[in-house]
Amino acid sequence: MSWGVKQEARPGRGVTHGPFSSIPGLEGCGHISLSASTVRLGDAITASCIIKQNCSYLGPESQILWKLGTELLPGGKQQRLPDGTQESIITLPHLNDPWALLSCYLRWSNSLQMVDQAELQAGYPPFTPHNLSCFMNLTTNCLTCQWEPGPDTYLSTNFTLKSFKSRGNCQTQEETIPDCVSEDGQSHCSIPRKHLQLYQTMGIWVQAENVLGTSVSPQLCLDPMDVVKLEPPTLWALGPSSEVAPPQPGCLQLHWELWKPSLFMEQNCELRHKPQLGEASWALVGPLPSRTFHYKLCGLLPSTAYTLQIRCIRHLLPGHWSEWSPSLKLTTPERAPIIRLDTWWRQRQLDPRTVDVQLFWKPMPLEEDRGQIQGYLVSWRPSGQLETVSPLCNTTELNCTFHLPSEAREVILVAYNTGGTSRPTPVVFLKSRGPPLGGLYTVAQDPHSLWVGWEPSKPQPRGYVIEWGLHTPSPSGSHKTWKMEHNGSIAGTLLQENIWPFQLYEITVTPLYQDTIGPSQHIYAYSQETAPSHAPELHLKHIGKTWAQLEWVPQAPELGKSPLTHYTIFWTNAQGQSFSTILNASSHGFVLHGLEPASLYHVHLMVTSQGGATNSTSLILVTLGLEESELYIILGLFGLLLLLTCLCGAAWLCCRPSRKNPLWPSVPDPAHSSLGSWVPTITAEEIFQLPSLWDPSVLPITKITVLEEEEKKPGPWESNDSSGTCGLPTLVQAYVLQGDPRAPSIQPQSQSGTNDQVLYGQLLGSPTSPVPGHYIRCDSTQPLLGGLTPSPKSYENLWFQTSPQRTPEPLVPNQEDDCVFGPLLDFPLLQGLQVHGVEGLGVF
């Protein structure tokens, strides 16, 4: 595509364009020159901008810039001419818009100032007009020609209708006819009657012209009278009259009037029609009679609205068809109903002479075009009165209730509309004398359909009547839906009309035989079953302290619902803890075990079937409390259990070896001890060396503690007499049977309740006396051991060996002491005691 440019002289323009501006001093400073005034779309165009020498804003460093629309164009050849003017030339290689604005700017004082502007236009040369046709309009007496101009050229294009008078095939031009120039945007033009020569040929063509060129259409040679176009006739519907028979179903009576100026011409006409509803295409009918102006159009759909139009042309002469007439909308007459009426009835004896009859019917179309039904008529002809017909019911409904004499056995039913009546349908009231059906069952297909099946009886019925509706206590059947099956060999049918979920339907099937009917059978069913309507009520039969016996009365099976699958009992205590159990559907009682005495419980029963579950009302019960004697027994048993627990704990603490020492001092058993195996516990302060005393043949002394003699003061719990205590000797020596005699150790603290040592023997003697020492055994009641001597350990099984070197001699006891004297040999703990080193023992 290229740009076409149309130059406009804009001397002295001061135009503000976008962010750029011009000042009065630039007026007349320069102008734009274009290479062409108009170019083809997509071609190149060259423009030059010249700035005069006398322009006060033209400096040696001045620069000319270009802008196309709002876009600044790069490039542009800058040159200074010998006369002092400055010129910039720019070439746009492709002009792709039909119109644009080209601007020339001069950079001055850090801004762009507009010098001049030019409009650019581009397009295409005119395309050749085609499909030129002309017709003679007898109403205006003008020859009107029309054509198709072709694609848009984006330029102003003029169309001129040119013609001349000629002879024969328009090879020679005799007289030129003035040109006819069409108005802007129109593609037709008319030559007045005064420039026409009737029955003389004319040469006609169309010339298209714009700034880029000229094109001419092919020449058309014609006689104006050969292209006459008549005005369309007027179409009417022929109304009913005594001379015209009423229209048949699917037919229309039409009449038309020709255009008055063309009444002297013989014309051929044609008709088109289509149904108003839908998207059917036009159906063409013709030619219509030329001498009579009415027509009977048949073959249409009855009771259907149609749109009709008509047009005409000169008969046996060349010319053009007229335009289609204005649309005429008509509706075809109705056809009498072509249907079969299925009927069913119910009778009820009102009194010995009158019967109440409720008649039902359904129209079953026998053809696709069955005809509209406006109403139904039920009539009765009394026996013996063939000419008398008594109408019983005239209704638009599909049922009717009327009274008949008891002897009446037949009525007549017809459907009617404006086109007539259907074939009469006799309704015979038969007696129920046929055999019943074998069995009746239903199956729910989906929430909106039910299958009902049966076992055909023998003889085989000729058909069946199936009725269904919501189960209500009302005996009226007007609310029921029904249908008739004419095939007696079938064993079931699908009910899909007026079926809804969660509704109980009563279904009735009646077999039809040749001259009688069979008894009706009923069944109840749901298309989608609901949960049981209610649950049995719980009753408390017996209750105890930790149990409760419940019972209920099972409900009778509900109509149309499946049997119960199971029961579920729920009970909840006062703390919110819930329990449940599932029972089979045959249960009618249950015993709750494991309840707490004097406690409140909420109990309810849930029944479940295939359709869901339903809860009963809640039952509140309170278990019995404990009696006073039972409470005493329980408390006694609890106290006895607590006492046994305490005794067992105490025995465990006492008998466990690791628990003996912390309770009282650990006193070695002299009978089960070995002084040689005793290891002294020696502290750092108590270590002393007696090398001269060490003799391997003598049993070692593990520890000697020397106490200075001091006066013993009686405690507050002791009496003044010394009956329970023997007199203390000069010094007392204590022994610790553990540790290494050569290693220091820390004496452990006693865990007994007192820090006093337990004195069970006294050693008497003097270090200077040659007589061996004697011991006094105390009569203190303090036990030596905490209990029975435990089994000796492995290192305590050595017995003391009696030293043969010395024989202890008895010592006369002091009568002031309550102690028993005896030799050292009687006291195994001191058998190995030898004292040497008097200087180390002081007064001892």
> Quick one: fold of 339-427?
Immunoglobulin-like (2.60.40)
* CATH class of residue range 30-123: mainly beta
Say what the pLDDT of residue 580 is: 94
pLDDT band at 189 (very low <50, low <70, confident <90, very high): very high
Picking from 548, 547, 584, the residue whose alpha carbon sits closest to that of residue 566 is: 584
CATH of 438-526, one of 3.40.50.920, 2.40.10.170, 3.40.50.300, 2.60.40.10: 2.60.40.10
pLDDT band at 592 (very low <50, low <70, confident <90, very high): very high
Output the pTM of the full model: 0.48
Q: Give mean pLDDT, residues 120-144.
A: 90
- What is the spatial distance between Cα 435 and Cα 450, in angstroms, rounded to a whole number? 25
Distance of CA 157 to the CA centre of its chain: 63
Residues pairing with 415 in the sheet: 376
What amino acid occupies position 589?
G
Say what the pLDDT of residue 743 is: 42
Three-state DSSP class for 226?
helix
Three-state DSSP class for 796?
helix
| 84, 90, 91, 94: CA torsion to nearest 10 | -160
- For the ranges 304-313, 355-364, 663-672, 773-782, the lowest mean pLDDT is seen at 773-782
Cross-sheet strand order for the sheet of 188-191: 188-191, 142-148, 130-137, 228-229
Tell me whether the CATH fold assigned to 339-427 matches the one assigned to 538-622. yes
Say what the pLDDT of residue 688 is: 44
Greatest alpha-carbon pair distance for the chain in Å reads 198
- For the ranges 71-85, 592-606, 772-786, the lowest mean pLDDT is seen at 772-786
- What is the spatial distance between Cα 404 and Cα 355, in angstroms, rounded to a whole number? 5
- For the ranges 146-160, 303-317, 513-527, 811-825, the lowest mean pLDDT is seen at 811-825
Q: Are strands 130-137 and 228-229 parallel, antiparallel or unpaired?
A: parallel
Residue 513, CA atoms < 13 Å, CB-side half-sphere: 19
Q: Is the pLDDT higher at 152 or at 473?
A: 152
Indicate the length of the chain as a whole number: 844
Q: Give mean pLDDT, residues 548-565.
A: 88
Task: Check: CB of residue 760 under 8 Å from CB of residue 830.
Answer: no
Q: How many CB atoms lie within 10 A of CB 450?
A: 22
Q: Is the pLDDT higher at 508 or at 79?
A: 508
- What is the spatial distance between Cα 730 and Cα 704, in angstroms, rounded to a whole number? 14
Task: Give me 399's structure tokens.
Answer: 């049922």
Distance of CA 513 to the CA centre of its chain: 55
What phi, psi does 810 have (nearest 5°)? Answer: -70, 150
Say what the pLDDT of residue 26 is: 61
761, burial (CB in 10 Å: exposed 0-12, middle 13-18, buried 19+): buried
Task: Give me 827's structure tokens.
Answer: 């006291």
What CATH superfamily is the domain 234-332? Immunoglobulins (2.60.40.10)
Q: How far is CA 369 from CA 61, 334, 418, 720, in A?
A: 95, 10, 15, 146
Task: Give me 471's structure tokens.
Answer: 């189960």
What CATH superfamily is the domain 130-229? Immunoglobulins (2.60.40.10)
Q: Give mean pLDDT, residues 19-32.
A: 60
Taking the domains of the chain in order of start, what are their residue ranges?
30-123, 130-229, 234-332, 339-427, 438-526, 538-622
Q: Is the pLDDT higher at 619 or at 734?
A: 619
- For the ranges 425-434, 466-475, 632-641, the lowest mean pLDDT is seen at 466-475
Tens digit of pLDDT for each residue in 193-202? 888 888 889 9
Say what the pLDDT of residue 22 is: 43
Q: Give mean pLDDT, residues 182-187.
A: 86
Residue 69, CA atoms < 13 Å, CB-side half-sphere: 10
What phi, psi does 766 have (nearest 5°)? Answer: -125, 145
Q: Are strands 339-351 and 328-331 parallel, antiparallel or unpaired?
A: unpaired
pLDDT band at 217 (very low <50, low <70, confident <90, very high): very high
Say what the pLDDT of residue 799 is: 43
Q: How far is CA 629 from CA 545, 634, 636, 753, in A?
A: 15, 9, 11, 45
Say what the pLDDT of residue 386 is: 65
What is the CATH code for 538-622? Answer: 2.60.40.10
Tens digit of pLDDT for each residue in 239-285? 766 566 777 888 899 989 888 877 888 888 999 999 998 888 999 99
- What is the spatial distance between Cα 11 and Cα 9, in angstroms, rounded to a whole number? 6
Q: Give mean pLDDT, residues 404-416.
A: 90
DSSP letters of 552-572?
--PPPPPTT-PPP-EEEEEEE
Q: Give mean pLDDT, residues 650-654.
A: 84
Q: How many CB atoms lie within 10 A of CB 296?
A: 13
